[in-house]
Amino acid sequence: MTLSVGYAQSVITPSLERPVFLAGFGRNRRAASVHDDLYARALALRAHDVAVIVVAADLIGLARHEIQTIERVVQEQAPAAQLIVAATHTHHGPDTLGLWGPDAMTRGVDAHYVAQLQQTLATTALQAYQQLQPVSLRIASTQVTGIARNARNPAITDEELSCLQFVDVETRRPLATLLVYPCHPEVLWDDNPHISSDYLCSMRRTVEYSTGAPCMGMVGALGGMMTPAMPGNRFEDAERMGVILGEAALTALAETAPQNVDAIDYRRHLFATPLTNPLFQMAMQAGLLTGQLNADGSLTTEASLLSIGDAAIFFMPGEVLPQLGLAYKTTLRAAGARHAVLIGLANDELGYILPAEEFVYPDNPFEPGDHYEESMSVGVEIGSALTAALDALLHNHHAIRRIEHE
């Protein structure tokens, strides 16, 4: 049985009839207009008894317990399917985590919007699953330099654009394209009041115009932080960055022959990590962040691994720093993957994920200076825990194929 793929998308732009607090920079940044719509874009993949639905959502992030709620709804109608919801981390979409409300003690999340969002994500995932058709696959990787930089450590950068394009078996006509680039969607800086997916908008549009088929954009190991290096912070700059990425993807894919994929492998790994960040602890106590800790004060999260063709895709629950991300790619290639792809903010958002040896919690987390990433991370152990999770996914052939929800 050859690989089958289905695609669907839905608009998830919040209505401005209610206050919309934009996430990613400072608090009380209220949306004034919609520059471009936000989307949920779903790609369903199935081969033999393995079925996975990957959803890219133009959001700052979603907590794992909320994604589990969506997956339960999906599995009521598609019991064989497993769900991955990965946020694109746009800094110009609604607060879906709780940290960017009107003041330090008020959540910025609109419960009415989130209820609609969960329903839309589930519906879109199921629509993609209902559109399955046989495909071949093009996979390409290319370096796109000069448009992103590492603000924390300029010497360590990952500028690889990963490209997967699913094409009709007979005609070779593109049916859907997936692009992954490790950079924050924040060309438009903290004074932007307009809802937008940032550079992802023009990146997707560039590919769609050329191929006549939908395009999904996702983000990789964007911690550090990997931030745009465009000349300015205007919409023109975001537009140009997306066009550069889209054109690079089209060039790389045009030079790649389709491959037939007869099987895919998907594994998930649950693990616990301590929540030691006092800021996050206070946010949970104040009700800003939601979710439930384990009895020992740790939280349970997950990572997963999809093997498809000559690519391995590692789904990570937060914003991994490039130092770790590059090491993970080396590990995946050593395990036999020609193309090592990392997708961040997948099925959870734990903030920054740093190597333990680089983790220095600031004396004053309200003024973290060079250690901002540590002040927005669950703790020092998360990097080592994620590394161990990748090792388990690669070497444990009895890894969990299906998650039983807690």
Please give the DSSP secondary-structure letter assigned to residue 400.
Answer: B
Q: Beta strand 133-143 with 160-168: parallel, antiparallel or unpaired?
A: antiparallel
Note if the bond before 230 is cis, omega within 30 degrees: no
Residue 398: the pLDDT is: 45
Beta bridge partners of 57: 40, 87
Q: Which two tokens stand for residue 312?
A: 């391995």
| Domain coordinates in residue numbering, the chain | 4-129, 135-254
User: Is residue 245 within 8 Å of 207, Cβ to Cβ?
Assistant: no
Output the CA angle 98-42-345, nearest 5 degrees: 40
pLDDT means over runs of 10, the chain (406 residues): 93 97 96 98 96 98 97 96 98 97 95 98 98 97 98 95 96 97 97 98 98 98 96 97 98 95 96 96 94 93 97 98 97 96 98 95 91 95 97 74 44
What tokens appear for 137 in the block? Answer: 């696959």
pTM of the model: 0.96
Q: Say which residue the tokens 């839309």 belong to.
A: 120
Q: What is 13-41 written as a DSSP string?
A: PPPTTS--BBPSSSSS-B--EESS--EEE
d(CA 107, CA 141): 40
Cα(125)–Cα(97) distance, rounded to whole angstroms? 21
14 backbone dihedrals φ, ψ, rounded to 5°:
-70, 150
Q: Specify the pLDDT at position 401.
A: 45
Burial grade of 203 (CB within 10 A; 0-12, 13-18, 19 or more): buried
Question: For residue 288, what is the DSSP state?
Answer: S
Q: Are 392 and 314 in contact (CB under 8 A)?
A: no
Instruction: Summarize pLDDT for 98-107 with one digit per residue, the tens.
Output: 999 999 999 9
Yes or no: say if 132 and 5 are a contact pair by the CB < 8 Å rule: yes
H or E element at residue 278? helix 278-285
- What distance separates the 2 farthest-apart alpha carbons in the chain? 61
